[in-house]
A and B are shown apart, each in its own frame.
Chain A
């Protein structure tokens, strides 16, 4: 059974710092990996999607990497801003089933201090 773990569970950093969020998954047979952002009481916004054949994806100040063989992904946020404060969820879709249901981690709650 696929399990997704995110470390740390919570993180507070001063504005302007670069930071890394970690995600690990137990079954390397994935179709893709996705990072989402969730603001309190809101739905999910997709940030980056990495297909299993890819190593990384970039969007603005965000860079996500994928090492499928070791079951790890990182989300790098450059020059953090207070508006980046949110919960960041890592999620995978398994390649053995084509139902595409997403398996989520519990998230990392990020707080950027002004």
Chain B
């Protein structure tokens, strides 16, 4: 499969624990985005990378959240000291900067914080 993949697909954790999600973009795509989607809402932008550089972070991304894309390929999103309000679907998308910059989305990681 050459689409965007995310791991794990589901994560249940207890409040206060740290969690880390991984996203593998489409191989030639230089941009990678993270979005968060809560129930009944559309996805909301969190952060994005162009190659290995993190170019923007949303105010939604508190200091408990950190994202990396060390070699400009896969990315990780870590949440420290999880809170119940972090429960959501975390979506990753990738794109190739060009004329028609469609973002291709992965299946998401659904996080439940108990």
Report whether B107 and A101 are in contact in the complex, using a CB–CB cutoff of 8 Å: no
Residues of A within 8 A of B89 (CB): 41
Within 8 A of A (CB), among B66-114: 89, 91, 93, 95, 97, 100-108, 110
Report whether A102 and B48 are in contact in the complex, using a CB–CB cutoff of 8 Å: no
Total interface residues on B, using CB and 8 Å?
A: 28
B31, B42, B48, B97: which contacts A91 (Cβ < 8 A)? Answer: B42
Tell yes or no: A34 within 8 A of B by CB: yes
Q: Nearest residue in A to B47 (C-beta to C-beta)?
A: A101
Report whether B56 and A101 are in contact in the complex, using a CB–CB cutoff of 8 Å: yes
Residues of B within 8 A of A28 (CB): none
User: What's the nearest-Cβ distance from chain A to residue B44, in Å?
Assistant: 7
Residue numbers of A with Cβ under 8 A of B are 4, 32, 34, 36, 41-46, 49, 51, 89, 91, 93, 99-107
- Give Cα A42–Cα B91 distance, bound, in whole angstroms: 10
Tell yes or no: B21 within 8 A of A by CB: no
B42, B95, B97, B103: which contacts A89 (Cβ < 8 A)? Answer: B42
Report whether A43 and B91 are in contact in the complex, using a CB–CB cutoff of 8 Å: yes
A49-B102, A102-B33, A104-B44 known; 6 new pairs, CB 8 Å cut-off, are A42-B108, A43-B4, A44-B91, A100-B31, A104-B43, A105-B42
